[in-house]
Amino acid sequence: MAAEIDISSVASATRRFTLSRLQEELARRLEPLAITFLAILAGMGLFSLFLLALGKSPLQFVQLVYAGGFGTWFSLQNAFSRAAPLLLTALCVALPARLGLTVIGGEGALALGGLGAAAIAVPMLSVSHGWPLWIAMGIAGSVVGGLWIAFAGALKHYRGVNETISSLLLTYIGIAVMNHLIEGVLRDPASLNKPSTFPLPADGMFGKIWGMDVHWGFAIGIICCVLAWVLIERTTIGFAARVSGGNLRAAQIQGLPVGKLIVGFTFLAGAFAGLAGMIEVAAVQGSANGSIIAGYGYTGILVAFLARHNPLAIIPVSILLGGVAAAGGLIQRRMGLPDATVLVLQGTLFISVLFFETLYGRFKLFNPEMWRKTRAGKDGE
Partner 1 sequence: MEETALGLWGVPLAILAGAIRVSTPFIFVSLGETLTERSGRINLGLEGTLVFGAMSAYAVAVLTQSAWLGVLAAMMAGAVFGLLHGFICKFPKVNDIAIGIAMMQFGLGLAFFLGKPFIQPVAPKLPAIPLGNWSSLPQVQAALTINVLFIVGLILTFSIAWMLKNTRVGLILRVVGDSSDAARAMGINPNTVRLLATAAGGALAAIGGAYLSLFYPGSWNERISSGQGLMAVALVIFARWNPKGCMFASLLFGGAGALGPALQSVGVTQGYYLFYAAPYVLTLIILIMTSSPTTRLSGAPEELSLTK
Residues that bind partner 1 (CB under 8 A): 102, 104, 155, 157-162, 164-166, 168-170, 172-173, 176-177, 179-180, 183, 298, 301-302, 305, 337-338, 340-348, 350-351, 353-355, 357-358, 360-361
Q: Which is nearer to partner 1, 74 or 158 (CB)?
A: 158
Crossing angle of helices 217-234 and 258-279, rounded to 10° = 170
Q: 196 forms bridges with which residues in the sheet? A: 289
Q: Which is nearer to partner 1, 177 or 312 (CB)?
A: 177
Q: Which is nearer to partner 1, 98 or 215 (CB)?
A: 98
Q: What is the DSSP letter of 289?
A: B
Contact 269, 91 (CB under 8 A): yes
In the complex, minimum distance from the CB of residue 265 to partner 1, in angstroms, rounded to a whole number: 17
Per-residue b or e along 113-131, where b marks 16 or more CB atoms closer than 10 Å to that residue's CB: bbbbbbbbbeeeeeeebee
Judged by DSSP in three states, 208 sits in: strand
In the complex, minimum distance from the CB of residue 216 to partner 1, in angstroms, rounded to a whole number: 30
User: What's 248-264 look like in SS3?
Assistant: HHHHHHCCCCHHHHHHH
Q: Which is nearer to partner 1, 78 or 166 (CB)?
A: 166
Judged by DSSP in three states, 206 sits in: coil
Q: Which is nearer to partner 1, 46 or 67 (CB)?
A: 46
In the complex, minimum distance from the CB of residue 267 to partner 1, in angstroms, rounded to a whole number: 18
In the complex, minimum distance from the CB of residue 356 to partner 1, in angstroms, rounded to a whole number: 9
Q: Which is nearer to partner 1, 130 or 338 (CB)?
A: 338
In the complex, minimum distance from the CB of residue 355 to partner 1, in angstroms, rounded to a whole number: 5
Polymer length of the chain: 381
**CA-based torsion, 231, 94, 171, 221: positive or negative:** positive
In the complex, minimum distance from the CB of residue 18 to partner 1, in angstroms, rounded to a whole number: 32
Q: Which is nearer to partner 1, 237 or 351 (CB)?
A: 351
In the complex, minimum distance from the CB of residue 238 to partner 1, in angstroms, rounded to a whole number: 22
Per-residue b or e along 338-375, where b marks 16 or more CB atoms closer than 10 Å to that residue's CB: eeebbeebbebbbebbeebeeeeeeeeebbbeeeeeee
